[in-house]
Amino acid sequence: MAQPHGVLHNGEFCCPICLDLLKDPVAIPCGHSYCMGCIRGYWASYGDLETVSCPQCRQSFLPRPILKRNTLLAEMVDKLKKTHLQVASPSTAFAVNSVAVAATATLSLGETEEVLCDLCTRSKRTAVKSCLACLASYCKLHLQAHYESPALKKHKLVEAAAQLQEKICPQHDKLLEIYCRSDQKCVCVLCVMEEHKGHDTVSAAAESTKKQKELGLARRKFKLSIHAREKELLELRQAVDTLRESAQGAMETSDKIFTELISSIGRRHCEVRELIKAQERAAAALLVQLETDLAELRKQDAQLELLLHTDDHIHFLQCCQSLSAPASAMDPASICTDPLLDFGKMTSAVFALRKRLEDVLKVEWPKITRAASTVKIVQSPEPKIRPEFLYYSCPFKLDPKTAHKDLSLSQDNGVVTVRGREHSCADHPERFDYWCQVLASEGLSGRCYWEAEWSGMGVNMAVAYRDMNRKGEGGDSHFGRNDRSWSLFCSRKGFSFWHNNVVTKITGPCSFKIGIYLDHRAGNLSFYSVSDTMTLLHRVKATFTQALYPGYEFACYGASVKLCQME
């Protein structure tokens, strides 16, 4: 039997007999397809009988169908072979293992073991059939007697098998042609009349047909599992390739940024060292200057002393004018030395810089590690406790261009409040002009979590597609009243969920801090009441086709929403 390459291809193009890709495919009247050689060999076991049947559905045909090559199916198989020759399948490793397993199973069933003719005396030829009546195997030459002799024509011929004795009852020396379902073993006719009397027995052919159908169903399940695993493997390989490319880009970017940071800190370090050394050089130069001036003063003092003791009046008068006022001497009052001179302030400034950098790292580093931790090929289960939700925190800001004119945004666009009266505001194509609503400036996808605190009589916390309508008082521009937005209405009396103008009442205590968890790919949107614990208010399952933008709507003046900073 050929090696079962069927695991590499679609099962629809595999022969059910040899499990290999169809070779010279033919379709019999019931619709099932086989290799021409396989179905001919199978029908050859019927001998000269005109009636044959399908190996799968057991439908009988009389007379024996004429086999013709299915040209269309053959071309499809050839294309499939070329495809696998040109492009290596992602499941190649899995298929190789499957081939090895199938080959091992084939050998264990003895299907590839060569059977020799029992009548050949000198050079043994390969047997093509075995006779269950004669308990012998025959080559083509010695098999002719079973086709020609009227007495031998009644014998049961099967595919050549080496262990014919296993088909004979060891107790009665009769053919094992009955299956006892009670004892789950093959027996002969005499066994049924004796020790298996009264048991649930059927013909071996009937039980074999039943078992084959059961195995066929089991094999279909295995094929579905194989195809599912192949799909998972393909998706995993694609995800790994994408992750590898993204990881390489992230490493190059981080290497560049950290190298620049290290270089920048190194330059600042060198500048600080240069400032210190400049002060040292200035002090040293001042010291040299003072020592030079002192030496000059001492020299002039010595000259004055000599001049004071001279008896030469003419020489004294000539030199007295030039030595009476030392021009190069530095005024002692111009130098004021600090007895506590040190670099303490500069050192304190460096320590302060280090502390600020450490504080920045304390704030930013968890964000970096958390963002890196969320990149997972195999997604982890949905978070249960708040620290797990915080791994998926997504900070964002509100978009002033979308805010209704009655809404006032804080300077950092993190707090929105309803104003006491209408204010003039320039119109914008993205601005809500009727409903008191605002959208975030960034769309969210993947796994995201954010929190918001609300105040007032009632607030809608929503997510919506960016192409949601912004103008008019219709439901297509109102959060939760259309198929492009999902909204949780929060009030002091309770909660209600809106989508496509369908409302779902939610029971539970009032909560002023709401957490929203989005798993965009899985289509999960969950709303939580946030306190010491996370309490699920409502979860919706949907198919999201676009990025989702957080949004807020206000039911009355004085209400406000503050986006929470999560660390």
Task: Give CB contacts under 8 A, 24+ apart, made by 287-294.
Answer: 289/330, 290/330, 290/335, 293/328, 293/329, 293/330
pLDDT band with cut points at 50, 70 and 90 for residue 100: very low
Torsion-angle region of residue 558: left (phi > 0), alpha (psi -120 to 50) or beta?
Answer: left
User: In this predicted model, what pLDDT tens digit does every residue of 179-195 receive, in sequence order?
Assistant: 999 999 999 989 998 89
Question: Percent of the chain scored above 90 by pLDDT?
Answer: 27
Q: Residue 123 has what DSSP assignment?
A: S
CB 263 within 8 A of CB 269: no
> What phi and psi values does residue 319 have, to the nearest 5 degrees?
-90, -20
User: In this predicted model, what pLDDT tens digit does every residue of 420-478 receive, in sequence order?
Assistant: 655 667 788 899 989 999 999 999 988 899 999 999 888 999 999 999 999 999 999 99
- Mean pLDDT across the chain, nearest whole number? 82
**pLDDT (0 to 100) of residue 567:** 62
**pLDDT (0 to 100) of residue 318:** 75
**pLDDT (0 to 100) of residue 5:** 41
**pLDDT (0 to 100) of residue 325:** 56
Three-state DSSP class for residue 262: helix
User: In this predicted model, what pLDDT tens digit does every residue of 3-61 receive, in sequence order?
Assistant: 444 334 445 678 887 777 888 899 888 888 889 888 888 887 777 777 788 888 778 88
pLDDT band with cut points at 50, 70 and 90 for residue 523: very high
> 377 or 453: whose pLDDT is higher?
453
**pLDDT (0 to 100) of residue 97:** 44
- What contacts 227, CB < 8 A, 6 or more positions away? 11
**pLDDT (0 to 100) of residue 441:** 92
User: In this predicted model, what pLDDT tens digit does every residue of 307-346 receive, in sequence order?
Assistant: 888 888 787 787 776 665 555 445 555 666 666 667 788 8
Task: Give CB contacts under 8 A, 24+ apart, made by 168-177.
Answer: 168/135, 175/132, 175/133, 176/204, 177/203, 177/204, 177/205
pLDDT band with cut points at 50, 70 and 90 for residue 89: very low
Provide mean pLDDT across the span 373-378. Answer: 68
Sign of CA dihedral 108, 109, 111, 114: positive
**pLDDT (0 to 100) of residue 102:** 45
